Amino acid sequence: MKPINCLLVDDEDLALDILELYLNRLEGFNISKRCNNVFEADKYLKDNVVDLIFLDIQMPKLNGMEWIKKLDNKPSIIFCTAFDQFALESYDVNAIDYLLKPFSYERFEKAARKAQEKIIGNHQLNASKEEFVNIRSERKIYKIAVNDILFIHSIGNYYKIVTKDKKIMAYGSLTSLEKELSQSNFLRIHKSYMVAVNKIVAISGTSVILPNDKLPVGRKYREIVEKLYEETPTVRLI
């Protein structure tokens, strides 16, 4: 199973250090980014997909609760705050949990595992439902079986979907398409490439190998690709 990508948002570095320390003790979680304010987090989310946000509330200029209410396509949320007055309000944004600082590792683990169970369940449900994706290209709509997709290549304002027997060019961003596809089946390996995990046969430090293609791995995605090797017995290291 692909690790759960986490975004940590807190204006105190010590609080971020504690979150990072706790998450590193848990299996199945990946820290995608640390942010000291919601503006930095908002910018990151425009180009990246995360599964879970650990979010402080009281921060300068715009607090975490106000920000998350404005956010479209909300990831799962666990609030981490020293203030209890927002606890009831957290239900309005379907927060998974509400951790009051200072919290113990045991309390943190309980919240993280609850989030993990929910996110994995959603991934599995999406995988069972999303058997096809509809792509508009050259005034036509193509119904593509998700399992046929080998990889997707972003080229400027367009992306190219490559299957075993066709290539389809469409207008749009790779990030928007990434949100449509099951996150348990596809992995972003480069700012310009997303690959079907079950089509990967081998990886190296800088490449992902498919049966008939070799794709580059971006520097910031190397750790995620390395974890894939550790968690997927069918993938070879070369």
Range with top average pLDDT, 127-141, 170-184, 217-231? 217-231
Tokens 């079950």 sit on residue = 198
Q: What confidence score (pLDDT) does residue 120 get?
A: 81
Q: CA-to-CA distance for 109 and 112, rounded, in angstroms?
A: 5
Q: CA-to-CA distance for 146 and 132, rounded, in angstroms?
A: 5
Q: Which two tokens stand for residue 190?
A: 């480069």
Q: How many domains, in total, are found in the chain?
A: 2
**pLDDT, tens digit, 9 for 90 and up, residues 8-24:** 999 999 999 999 999 99
| Spatial contact of 190 and 200, defined as CB atoms under 8 Å apart | no
Q: CA-to-CA distance for 180 and 190, rounded, in angstroms?
A: 18
Q: CA-to-CA distance for 74 and 94, rounded, in angstroms?
A: 10
Q: What confidence score (pLDDT) does residue 124 get?
A: 60
- Among 64, 95, 128, identify where a domain stops: 128
- Among 79, 99, 128, identify where a domain stops: 128
Q: Encode 42-56: b = buried (16+ Cβ within 10 Å), e = exposed.
A: eebbeebbbbbbbbb
CA–CA distance from 58 to each of 8, 36, 52, 80 (Å)? 14, 12, 19, 10
> Domain check: are 175 and 119 in the same one?
no
Q: What confidence score (pLDDT) does residue 111 get?
A: 95
> Domain check: are 85 and 159 in the same one?
no
Q: 116-125, 165-174, 209-218: which has the minimum mean pLDDT?
A: 116-125
| Verdict on whether the full-model pTM lies above 0.85 | no
> Domain check: are 124 and 18 in the same one?
yes
> Domain check: are 89 and 170 in the same one?
no
Higher pLDDT, 174 or 37: 37
Q: The domain containing residue 177 runs over which residues?
A: 132-237
**pLDDT, tens digit, 9 for 90 and up, residues 73-126:** 789 999 999 988 888 888 888 899 999 999 999 999 999 999 998 888 766 655
Planar angle of CA 52, 36, 223, nearest 5 degrees? 55
Q: What confidence score (pLDDT) does residue 128 get?
A: 53
- Among 128, 143, 173, identify where a domain stops: 128
Confidence of residue 67 (pLDDT cuts 50, 70, 90): very high
Q: What confidence score (pLDDT) does residue 195 get?
A: 94
pLDDT surpassing 80 at residue 235: no
Average pLDDT, the chain: 87
Q: Which residues contact 46 (CB under 8 A, 6 or more apart)?
A: 175
> Domain check: are 84 and 138 in the same one?
no
